Amino acid sequence: MELRPWLLWVVAAAGALVLLAADARAQKVYTNTWAVHIPGGPAVADRLARKHGFLNLGQIFGDYYHFWHRAVTKRSLSPHHPRHSRLQREPQVQWLEQQVAKRRTKRDVYQEPTDPKFPQQWYLQSGVTQRDLNVKEAWAQGYTGHGIVVSILDDGIEKNHPDLAGNYDPGASFDVNDQDPDPQPRYTQMNDNR
């Protein structure tokens, strides 16, 4: 049977509609990367990645690593069970999860801040000094920072200060001078902050 060109277009359109419908139903789209928990260090993670055809893209945090596999489809509506199962059978692998693409959408929740000192915060005011952070524009696009942790490299932070205490996250803090998790400055007569 000879396929007519219009029939090919119908089949292609139907395939596209299936993908759109999957997206509309919030069906997961699996990537060719995995998050893998392997206690034992980077050398063990590298060895296991190579053994199973993965590339270790690096440490996420702690003993969690980011694995990538070039033979796995970059985006798929179904998970890749064979690669997952083989890696999962390794005794050193405590946990793994094939990563899923996340759909990001802008939110519209911006309201002008009610802080009476907001106008004095020039770095938040667009165009005032050409050194602003475009914060108001980001807020207008719906970016709120909810759930985001920001770490700032500095020579100390007064974590108990009333402006900071409610938002201070000790898990995102570290004192590189003293190699401990407490970045509270210690004031001295010389004001050397050591």
**Going from the N-terminus, what domains does the chain have, and what CATH number goes with each?**
28-100 (3.30.70.850)
Sign of CA dihedral 176, 178, 184, 190: negative
pLDDT in tens, 39-76: 999 999 999 999 999 999 999 999 999 999 988 988 88
Predicted local distance difference test score (pLDDT) of residue 163: 86
Tell me which DSSP letter residue 120 carries: G
Residues in the chain: 194
Q: What distances in angstroms separate CA 74 from CA 8, 80, 117, 162, one per listed residue?
A: 25, 11, 48, 47
Q: Are 42 and 56 in contact (CB under 8 A)?
A: yes
pLDDT in tens, 134-183: 888 888 888 888 888 877 766 678 888 888 888 888 888 877 777 777 88
CB neighbourhood size of 49 (10 A): 22
Q: What is residue 72's three-state secondary structure?
A: coil
